[in-house]
Copies of this chain bind each other. A is one copy, B any other.
Amino acid sequence: MKRGRKMKRSERLVDFTNYLLNNARKLTTLSFFGQRYGVAKSSISEDLVIIKRVFEETGVGTVKTYPGVSGGVVFTPEISNAQSRAIVSEIADLMRESNRILPGGYIYLSDILGSPKNLKNISKIIAHEYAGKQIDAIVTIATKGIPIAQAVSAILDVPFVIVRRDPKVTEGATLNVNYMSGSSAKVENMTLSKRSLAPGQRVLIVDDFMKGGGTLNGMKSLVHEFDCILAGVAVFAEGPFKGQRLITDYKSILKIEKIDIEKRSIEVALGNIYTNEV
Interface residues, chain A, with chain B CB atoms under 8 Å away: 1, 3, 7, 9-11, 13-15, 17-18, 21, 50-51, 53-55, 57-60, 102-104, 106-111, 114-117, 119-120, 142-144, 146-147, 150-151, 153-154, 157-162, 164, 168-172, 193, 195-196
Contact = CB atoms under 8 A, between A and B. Distances in A.
Given A116-B160, A143-B164, 4 more contacts: A3-B58, A17-B17, A18-B21, A102-B170
B110 A171 contact: yes
B1 A159 contact: no
A23 to B, nearest CB: 11
Contacts of A170: 102, 106-110, 144
A215 to B, nearest CB: 13
27 contacts: A10-B10, A10-B50, A11-B54, A13-B17, A14-B17, A14-B54, A15-B54, A17-B18, A18-B60, A102-B169, A103-B172, A104-B169, A106-B170, A110-B161, A110-B170, A110-B196, A111-B196, A114-B153, A115-B159, A116-B157, A116-B159, A116-B160, A120-B154, A143-B146, A146-B147, A147-B150, A154-B154
Contact of A102 (B57, B142, B172): B172
A58 B5 CA distance: 12
Contacts of A103: 169, 172
A50 B14 CA distance: 8
A19 to B, nearest CB: 9
**Nearest 5 Cβ contacts at the A-B interface:** A14-B54, A17-B17, A116-B154, A142-B143, A114-B159
Contacts of A153: 114, 116
A7 B11 CA distance: 17
Contacts of A142: 142-143
Nearest to A143: B142
A115 to B, nearest CB: 5
A51 B14 contact: yes
Contacts of A120: 154
